[in-house]
Amino acid sequence: MGGGIRNKVRRTKFVKHVSVDAPAPAAAVAVVDGLGKPFEDLSLLPKTSTASSDQPSGDGKNIPCLPRLGTASTSKEPLKSVATSNVAESQRQGSSDPTPLDDIITKLTTKSQPTRRCEMVQLSESEIRYLCYVSREIFLRQPNLLELESPIKICGDIHGQYSDLLRIFEHVGFPPKANYLFLGNYVDYGKQSIETVCLLLAYKIKFPENFFLLRGNHECVSINRIYGFYDECKRRFNVRLWKAFADCFNCLPVAALIDDKILCVHGGLSPDLANLDQIRNLARPTDVPDTGLLCDLLWSDPGRDVKGWGMNDRGFSYTFGPDKVAEFLMKHGLDLICRSHQVVEDGYEFFADRQLVTIFSAPCHHDEFDNAGALMSVDEDLLCSFLIFKPADKIQVQSTGIGCLPGYPRLHS
């Protein structure tokens, strides 16, 4: 069961992950620690080679991380799990007749398969507007700083690579078989941003206490207006739908705290961040400003050659050195900062003596990089392991009038 024991002192640790076989063209491989330190063997994934693409019925095995909707809280206390009531709800969800939401999820998960040519999923505009509206209300009812409990799977940037998102679920398990936290950047660059964000929003609505989405710097109109999402919405639907997505993105939470030990955010630290209550108190809905705390949480980057705070080549926010990571963790009693926002060759990369990790979950990003994708699993004892997806053969998208997306500058991830 999730939730952990609050009176037991636990420290975040990293362990080796036993590999699982993966269907072509992607492969999940065992992680070798980048620092060459020995690891304990630990298998956190199902032993079967692939997971079924059918939607699983709720089995109550994964424990919710937030209280019931309608009870959003700004309390500093960790949010406790209420297992009994949620097992019953999960069972009801699994045994009930199909709903319009179930129909949407079925369309999104059966139309495209990781080993096939990937087709556009034909959702109606009304279905997409429904996803945007309902998920928006859920985001606003839940805290801006989510306080979650292990076990949980953490994923980095997806960037419209819909087939790779499906590949993650096929290997690790479709919700609610696992708790998920995504760190933002769902849209832009990839050819199927609409399918990607719609599936994520649908799962958020279906499993609001087991499935979590943070905001990335691309969940902002000034950015996704340029890097592909606006063009995709306009080409396939209309500009009004792009604005509906924007209203939804403006309500996304910006950070998560796992078992009071792992801080998760899209970008990084901020010189304006003195305490975590500042994150809790950020106003929503809101666009992303050009400066300040919210901007930094979504845009800042670690810098190996930086001491303290430095200029960021992106033109937004700052870079921060290992000293700032250590100082922040010590001050707040944390073990680890988990973030995304940058392409890394192996899908994950440590910084500041393993006090920060970058996770990027879009392999062969934008068909211009040979990077792997990865996700991080956090078990009940705060043991962290990584599942790596090697770059896959290019999967063509069957559609008309796709057009070309803008070239990808690394620093704008």
Q: What is the CA radius of gyration of the chain?
A: 20
133: which 2 tokens?
């509206």
Which of 171, 218, 341, 366 is the catalytic position?
A: 218
**CA 290/CA 296 separation, integer angstroms:** 9
Q: Are the CB atoms for 199 and 109 separated by under 8 Å? A: yes
**CA 81/CA 87 separation, integer angstroms:** 11
Q: Specify whether 218 is catalytic.
A: yes
**CA 231/CA 242 separation, integer angstroms:** 9
Among 121, 113, 3, 13, smallest CA distance to 53 is for: 113
CA angle (253, 380, 372) in 5-degree steps: 65
Among 265, 350, 381, smallest CA distance to 34 is for: 350
> DSSP assignment, residue 410?
G
The dihedral built from the CA positions of residue 239, 404, 132 and 284, taken in this order, carries a sign that is negative
| Residues known to be catalytic | 218
